[in-house]
Structure 1
Amino acid sequence: MKEKDYIEELIANNLDALNDNEPFEGHFERFEAKLKAKNRTRKISLNLVLKVAAVVVFAFLATNQAFIYFSPDSQGLILNANKSKAVTLASVSPEYQEVEFYYTTSINTGLEQWNALSAEGMISEDEEAMMQDELKEFERLYKNLQSDLAANPNDERVINAMLEFYQTKLSLITMIVNKLEEVKQQKNNHNESI
């Protein structure tokens, strides 16, 4: 209890000094008014920001749709599709034209190697028929992708599907030709060792 008495005595001796640190008259009311004003402006500013964002998004979408509708490039591609002309990646952009050229050249080279191996008798009739069926299936898929590209010339999904088509066709032909080349090499090595 001695400590309690000491604290009470300390407060009693310094009561005048402690009372000098009270806030001025009306401090709590002004503080409360500032808090209310700050909360009110936050709600208004957030609401305003959401409205402005909605207007900007709407304006962007409207501009984009107008651009697509009035763009001469997209109308030309659609007209070309209606005239039954083939729409390819080359009609989308010069960069895609280079990519398409690479893939078509590589695929044609692989098919030439396939035909050379077939002429050498490395491929049976069943394997030849199976390859022709696969090539027909690739051609059917390519026609579908071309019609999708004609309908949506700037759609990245269609463009990526075309690129994946070329990659898949090239990798399949390359894999088959490489395996046939290995078999041919083994056959030659076996014949030389006899």
Structure 2
Amino acid sequence: MNKKLDNYFATQNFDIEEPPFGHMERFEKRLKEPRKKKYNFKWLSLAASLLLLVGIWTGTNLSSSSLALADVSPQMQEAESFFVATIKQEIKEIEKFRNPSTERIINDALNQLKTLEKQYKKLVTDLNKTNNDKRIIYAMIRNYQSRIEVLQDVLKQIDEIKNPKNTEDEEIYI
């Protein structure tokens, strides 16, 4: 079968027409040039427009309907940023000590923080309804303080687990 094909192609004349003048040079030039990819920016521009519209819609809806502790006054904004930074730092510190012996304590503390966060969100909605009621503002500050107290208690408990005091061996000096 292979010989039949070879004979067929050898006897046939496929070069009936001549290519136009300079065809070989143009062909070699195209082989040497790197190919440029063509992009269809129509879909990309449509997606960017949609993303922009969703962002604008979300930004206007969130900013107009929600009043937070930081929006009450510059001092409250400073206090809120301090509390948030302190809470994040304490959580990072606690996560460093996560191991099987501290797992339950840390998870309990994180659950307490979630509960306090839910309470805080309720306080935010109450603040939006009453518009700068001082009792709600104080409750929001107390909520942040409670979160920090929970985290500090967990750090104390972790410290006690790491460094247990053996009261039998200690001497009491007066």
- Range class of TM-score, shorter chain: 0.5 to 0.7
Contact 1:81-1:147 at 8 Å conserved across structures: no
2:161 maps to 1:180: no
1:79-158 alignment runs, 5 A limit: 80=62, 83=65, 85=66, 87-118=67-98, 120-124=99-103, 126-158=104-136
Deviation of 1:123 after TM superposition, in Å, equals: 1.1
Contact 1:81/1:150 (CA < 8 Å) preserved in 2?
A: no
Q: TM-score, normalised by structure 2?
A: 0.53
Report the AA paired with residue 158 of structure 2: L
1:133 partner amino acid:
N
- Indicate the SS of the match to 2:97: helix
Q: Distance in 1 between matches of 2:130 and 2:64?
A: 13
Question: Could you tell me whether the CA contact under 8 Å between 1:107 and 1:170 is conserved in 2?
Answer: yes
Is the contact made by 2:116 and 2:147 (CA closer than 8 Å) also made in structure 1?
yes
Instruction: State the secondary structure of the residue aligned to 1:154.
Output: coil
Contact (CA 8 Å) 2:109, 2:154: kept in 1 or not? Answer: no
Identity among equivalent pairs (%): 27
TM-fit CA distance, 1:178: 2.2
CA RMSD of aligned residues (A): 2.3
Q: Which of the two has greater helix per residue? A: 1
- Note closer, same or farther for the CA distance 1:114–1:183 as it changes in structure 2 (3 Å cut): same
Higher radius of gyration, 1 or 2: 1
Question: C-alpha deviations, 1:153-191, integer Å up to 9, x for none?
Answer: 32101101101111111111112112212322349xxxx
Gaps of 5+ in 2: 1-60, 166-174
Q: How many residues align?
A: 105
Counterpart secondary structure, 2:78: helix
CA displacement at 1:148 relative to structure 2:
1.0
Deviation at 1:80, TM superposition (A): 4.9
Q: Residue type matched to 2:102 in 1?
A: I
Q: Give runs of aligned pairs for residues 60-75 of structure 1, distance below 5 A.
A: none
- Taking structure 1 as the reference length, the TM-score comes to 0.48
In structure 2, what residue type is equivalent to 1:94?
P
Pick from 126, 135, 142 the counterpart of residue 164 of structure 1: 142
